[in-house]
Structure 1
Amino acid sequence: MSKYMLIMRGTDESNAAIMANFEELAPRTFSFIEELVKAGVFLAAEGLDTADNSVVVDFSGEAPVVTDGPYGETKELFGGYFLLDVASKEEAVEWARRVPAVRGSKIEVRRVAGDDEKPLGGDV
């Protein structure tokens, strides 16, 4: 089994659509999580606060600079995630296809590196 993160990425428009349809989407999302639990693949899921409530710590210069968020471009923002323990990337993708999402949303499927792997695929 491998861990995969389904990273929820939205735009200003899709995030507004989520809020406008929250009463319908919330029960569908909870049902989806129940399916994940019953299948034995659910590890975690969290949503994030809005980007305008974030703080950015920028390490581009000599000393870290802290500014109020959001960071960079706001065309697509990380809004939350599901963490699954599945047999393959293909299985993770199949679960991602079933996430209750609104038009304009995207889900990035990314494997979580194991403890014995080098972070970011490079040397430590």
Structure 2
Amino acid sequence: MSLHRTTRPPTPELTISTYTRDADRISSESDLKAINICLVGSHSLWAHYPWKAALAFASFLDSHRELYQGLNVLELGAGGALPSIVTAKNGVQKVVVTDDPDRDTLSKILSTLLRRM
């Protein structure tokens, strides 16, 4: 057996978490009322869990669009990328989403973004 060859563990099952926006924060009928976030089934860095800080921050960002409209946003350690999605829907110039370089985590972030943008 080669030392350079590694066996990749099976891909964890997909989980979905739903963030429901307050009705007074939705600006048009085409705007998302609920955002489904794709997460990995399990992960050592908790990327399978919708962090309460991300939910609270997304709510804050939804309430204070004037703070970032027209600006660029960088989200570090995005997990499900909820704050990035909220800011993108609320008028930022550009969003850059980052996380741990784990194939499964990044593919779930990409899946979420492609479904929402």
In terms of fraction of residues, the more strand-rich structure is 1
Q: Same fold (TM over 0.5)?
A: no
Q: Normalised by the size of structure 2, how large is the TM-score?
A: 0.31
Of structures 1 and 2, the one scoring higher in RCO (CA 8 A, sep 6+) is 1
